[in-house]
């Protein structure tokens, strides 16, 4: 390889612009042409048989032709991947200058593959970030040494070749082709004189780093496998490794996972499950699980919590941050550290609180800004839906908001389709001393002959009215002004009407509902595949929800089952494509 320039353009490296043009030409010239030999690590399509899942029969993966073969890294994934690729102690933080990842209607998360495009603005940001990171790494001897092979008895060019081979496998998440390796070595040679502040071997490595960090194989999760096995195009071992690591960790495969791919250990379900079980034990899996639930529970909505100072004089501006920290701590503890089931999310009375939250919950004891474990009153609280975050973020500044509380539970927890409100709906009338909050809402939304009645009377209001025992900051109450609170309701679950007397009853009903377990299983699969839930997911969703409800499988173990299912098989082969 030494001295080879391949088909690289000959540009004098006199400016950052010229350097960018060369990088783009070299990177793109090897991105799509000629293929990359992506089949099994031993040159054969991997087997698809293997050990059974926790439910007996192995879950069936949905046809993944609905999943993008070129899924750009989200900004969160970019940060964590650059951290791990460059072996940094923390994420670089450079994505704060990127334009925001888009959110697409019908998808709860920020990673819908179809919407993750690279426009000119983002491409420019990637270039700037690549240059800054490469300069930062090569200016720090310790950081640079962590990614370079030892010098030993190698000359500089031999060391550069070995660096390109080893680092390239990690950057591309797949071994480089000969053409790719030659193109990167050409960058190394040109890089020796590309900078005014550094030259020689380190300068060559710096330009190579810029190239890797702008490569489509780094910026995208590329799946190029094309060797069909019947009606399927199996993923190769390295593609399987990436699906595992990005779902469970939100970052690139580590060295052990890449080694398992190279050794063929990911070519059956037992090998996949063994690696998934290893990954789920790492704290990065806990971060991913928390991230998933924060999106499902709309924790970002907590930022808008702003209770009336006149009505709640003891509540401070710290409430929104305290509520977000409680939800994150509760989810991490119950669903990951304690290996809890969905029932625990919906019914546990153990949470974490600081002084701000302890006051609202009416807890006795000494509390300060530090969070500590606390047990809430079982007669008043059950699970995340009776915690301050959900309740206060679905309230006005002074009153509970049963409409938005009900819509959230119906849509997000029970996956009931609720139509958007018609145009021109008048706002709720102001509260009065002669009516309860519930009465005002019912009279406004359930009047005979109105367009609102069907959705509100049947679905929205019953779910929302169950939370009338909680005021606008989530504190428990028995009275609404001069009137006793009425939190009884009849809700639709599993095709039946279920009577509940309070949010505590509702939480227990939700926890035992197949519909709710289906709903969360669908959310998990959509998160893993990077696209909205599809009708083709039905079989796998049913398997997961039965594991969750009937066998009380911990949620983290459901994540393992999903990771195996989405990696074990592959994309459906288009009918027109010959095997």
The model's pLDDT over 514-533, given as tens digits with 9 standing for 90+, comes to 999 999 999 999 999 988 88
The count of domains in the chain is 1
Q: Virtual CA dihedral for 210, 241, 160, 12, nearest 10 degrees?
A: -30
pTM of the full structure: 0.87
Give the pLDDT confidence score for residue 3 in this predicted structure: 37
- Rounded CA separation 363/377 (Å): 9
Top pLDDT among 329 and 62 is at 329
367, part of any domain: no
Q: pLDDT-derived band of residue 555, with 50, 70 and 90 as boundaries?
A: very high
Residue 469 has pLDDT above 60, yes or no: yes
60, part of any domain: yes
352, part of any domain: no
Top pLDDT among 82 and 115 is at 82
- Rounded CA separation 349/376 (Å): 5
DSSP one-letter string for 173-221: TSPPPHHHHHHHHHHHHHHTTS-SS--HHHHHHHHHHHHHHH-HHHHEE
Residue 150 has pLDDT above 50, yes or no: yes
Q: pLDDT-derived band of residue 4, with 50, 70 and 90 as boundaries?
A: very low
- Rounded CA separation 147/209 (Å): 11
Residue 48 has pLDDT above 70, yes or no: no
Q: Residue 40 has what DSSP assignment?
A: -
183 close to 22: Cβ distance less than 8 angstroms: no
Average pLDDT over residues 152-166: 96
The pLDDT tens digits for 394-417 are 999 999 999 999 999 999 999 999
Residue 186 has pLDDT above 70, yes or no: yes
Give the pLDDT confidence score for residue 454 in this predicted structure: 82
pLDDT > 70 fraction of the chain, expressed in percent and rounded: 85
229 forms beta bridges with 232
The pLDDT tens digits for 269-307 are 999 999 999 999 999 999 999 999 999 999 999 999 999
How distant, in Å, are the alpha carbons of 210, 219, 511 from that of 130? 5, 11, 47
Give the pLDDT confidence score for residue 571 in this predicted structure: 55
427, part of any domain: no
How distant, in Å, are the alpha carbons of 27, 227, 564 from that of 233? 26, 6, 16
- Rounded CA separation 579/573 (Å): 8
- Rounded CA separation 476/9 (Å): 70
Residue 38 has pLDDT above 70, yes or no: no
Lowest mean pLDDT among 47-51, 367-371, 392-396, 463-467: 47-51
Taking only Cα atoms into account, the Rg of the chain, rounded to an integer number of angstroms, comes to 27
86, part of any domain: yes
- Rounded CA separation 238/40 (Å): 8
Angular region, 496: left φ>0, alpha ψ -120 to 50, beta rest = beta
489, part of any domain: no
Burial (CB count within 10 angstroms: exposed 0-12, middle 13-18, buried 19+), residue 17: exposed
Give the pLDDT confidence score for residue 107 in this predicted structure: 84
477 close to 485: Cβ distance less than 8 angstroms: yes
Cα 204 to the center of its chain, rounded Å: 36
Domain that holds residue 146: 16-284
Cα 500 to the center of its chain, rounded Å: 33
- Rounded CA separation 110/116 (Å): 9
42, part of any domain: yes
373, part of any domain: no
Q: pLDDT-derived band of residue 62, with 50, 70 and 90 as boundaries?
A: very low
The pLDDT tens digits for 333-354 are 999 999 999 999 999 999 999 9
**Cα torsion angle, 100, 103, 317, 91, sign:** negative
């Amino acid at each position: 390889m030494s001295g080879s320039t391949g088909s690289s353009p000959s540009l004098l490296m006199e400016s950052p612009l010229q350097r960018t043009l060369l990088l783009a030409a070299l990177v793109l010239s090897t991105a799509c042409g000629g293929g990359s030999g992506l089949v099994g690590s031993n040159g054969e399509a991997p087997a698809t048989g293997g050990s059974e899942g926790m439910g007996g029969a192995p879950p069936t993966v949905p046809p993944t032709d609905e999943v993008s073969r070129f899924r750009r890294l989200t900004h969160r994934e970019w940060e964590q991947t650059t951290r791990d690729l460059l072996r940094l102690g923390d994420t670089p933080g450079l994505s704060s200058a990127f334009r925001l990842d888009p959110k697409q209607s019908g998808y709860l998360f920020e990673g819908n593959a179809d919407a993750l495009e690279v426009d000119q603005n983002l491409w420019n940001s990637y270039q700037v970030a690549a240059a800054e990171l490469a300069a930062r790494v090569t200016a720090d001897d310790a950081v640079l040494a962590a990614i370079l092979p030892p010098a030993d008895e190698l000359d500089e060019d031999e060391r550069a070749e070995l660096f390109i081979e080893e680092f390239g496998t990690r950057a591309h998440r797949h071994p480089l082709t000969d053409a790719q390796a030659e193109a990167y070595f050409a960058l190394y040679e040109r890089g020796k004189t590309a900078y005014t502040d550094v030259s020689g071997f380190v300068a060559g490595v710096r330009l190579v780093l810029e190239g890797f960090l702008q490569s489509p194989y780094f910026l995208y999760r590329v799946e190029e496998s094309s060797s069909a096995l019947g009606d399927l195009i199996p993923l190769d071992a390295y593609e399987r490794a990436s699906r595992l690591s990005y779902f469970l960790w939100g970052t690139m495969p580590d060295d052990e996972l890449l080694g398992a791919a190279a050794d063929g250990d990911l070519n059956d379900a037992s090998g996949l499950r063994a690696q998934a079980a290893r990954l789920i034990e790492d704290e990065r899996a806990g971060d991913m699980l928390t991230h998933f639930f924060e999106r499902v529970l709309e924790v970002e909505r907590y930022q808008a919590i702003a209770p009336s100072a006149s009505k709640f004089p003891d509540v401070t501006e710290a409430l929104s941050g305290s509520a977000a920290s409680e939800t994150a701590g509760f989810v991490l503890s119950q669903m990951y550290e304690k290996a809890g089931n969905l029932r625990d999310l919906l019914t546990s009375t153990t949470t974490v609180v600081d002084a701000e939250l302890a006051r609202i919950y009416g807890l006795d004891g000494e509390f300060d800004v530090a969070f500590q474990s606390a047990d809430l009153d079982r007669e008043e609280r059950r699970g995340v839906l009776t915690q301050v975050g959900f309740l206060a973020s679905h309230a006005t500044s002074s009153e509970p908001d049963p409409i938005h509380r009900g819509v959230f539970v119906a849509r997000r927890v029970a996956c009931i389709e609720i139509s958007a409100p018609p145009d021109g709906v008048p706002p709720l009338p102001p509260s009065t001393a002669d009516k309860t909050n519930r009465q005002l809402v019912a009279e406004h939304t359930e009047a005979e002959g109105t367009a609102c009645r069907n959705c509100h009377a049947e679905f929205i209001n019953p779910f929302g009215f169950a939370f009338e025992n909680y005021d606008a900051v989530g504190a428990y109450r028995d009275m609404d002004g001069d009137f006793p609170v009425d939190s009884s309701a009849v809700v639709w679950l599993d095709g039946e009407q279920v009577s509940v007397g309070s949010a505590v009853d509702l939480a227990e009903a939700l926890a035992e509902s197949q519909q709710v377990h289906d709903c969360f299983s669908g959310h998990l699969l959509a998160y893993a595949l990077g696209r909205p839930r599809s009708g083709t997911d039905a079989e796998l969703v049913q398997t997961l929800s039965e594991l969750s409800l009937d066998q009380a499988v911990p949620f983290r173990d459901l994540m393992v089952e999903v990771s195996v299912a989405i990696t074990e098989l592959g994309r459906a082969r288009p009918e027109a494509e010959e095997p």
